[in-house]
Amino acid sequence: MSSTLADLAPLAQTEIRDRSGDADCVAENGTFCFGWAADNFDRYVEPTLEHLVLVGVSVIAGFLIAFGLALLSHRRRWLIPPFITATGILYTVPSIAFFILLLPFTGRGTVTGIIALTAYALQIIYRNMVTGLNNVPVEAKDAGRGMGMTDSQLFWRVELPLSVPEIVAGLRIATVSTVAIASLAFLAGAGGLGTEIFNQIDFKTNVLIAGGLCVVMAIALDFALLLLQRLAAPWRTGRVST
């Protein structure tokens, strides 16, 4: 474990603050130095893109794995409790511990970050899939089966489309929390906005910009998924939706 701690050491303050522009404000470490922000904003572009990739890849991977699990457990309902427990255990491991535990196996880098983030997203997405499929009205299933749909026709034509609102709701929660957790992914050497935050954690302007970008990203992705939810469930328009 000592070697992994040593791996973390290089993350300590490596950059010297650029004092150009808003020198006074930066010297006093004011609440938000606009001049400095304007001059240095481009340094956040790369980490933001890294962050976005971490979140996007992790949520999509989590979705695909959760969907596979949901397919498996849909007609074999006894599989649901073990799947919930297994994904729940992954979810409860503290994120910092998770990144560090993975280092001996996958080394430092984006892959390690994505594996850990995917494991977190998995539980939320899978749970919502199960809830969504469970909430499909019994009478719709009864009618579908009674009219001669096979199990797979019933799944693809009735159960899955009717679960879309809950599934997307799960994706929204998973996405927002992944944006937050991804800011720790720098511990696994995966970059992202966390790198910037921790590089100059005592410089308020920096923390506000990097942290603010996380918030904006979370809100934007959430809104995009909300739109997707509306588009994928047109029958809900005009009704009270949760």
Binding site for another protein (CB under 8 A): 137-140, 142-150, 153, 158, 161-162, 233-235, 238-239
Q: Which two tokens stand for residue 84?
A: 């919930």
| Residue type at 106 in one-letter notation | T
Q: Quick count: other Cβ atoms within 10 Å of Cβ 64?
A: 13
Q: Measuring CA to CA, which residue among 221, 216, 186, 188 is closest to residue 200?
A: 186
Contacts 24+ apart (CB under 8 A), 222-226: 222/172, 222/175, 222/176, 225/168, 225/171, 225/172, 225/175, 226/172
Residue with Cβ nearer another protein (153 or 200):
153
Cβ proximity of 50 and 107 under 8 Å = no
Q: 45 or 143, CB closer to another protein?
A: 143
For another protein, the closer of residues 165 and 192 by Cβ is: 165
Find the shortest distance in angstroms from Cβ 67 to another protein.
Answer: 19
Q: Please state the separation of Cα 101 from the chain's center in Å.
A: 20
Fill in the DSSP letter of residue 14.
-
Closer residue to another protein in complex, CB, 29/150: 150
In angstroms, give the least distance from the CB of 157 to another protein.
8
Instruction: Tell the smallest beta-carbon distance from residue 60 to another protein (Å).
Output: 24
CB of 158 to another protein, least distance (A): 6
Q: Nearest distance from residue 131's CB to another protein, in Å?
A: 17
**Residue 71, SS3?**
helix
Nearer to another protein, 24 or 142 (CB): 142
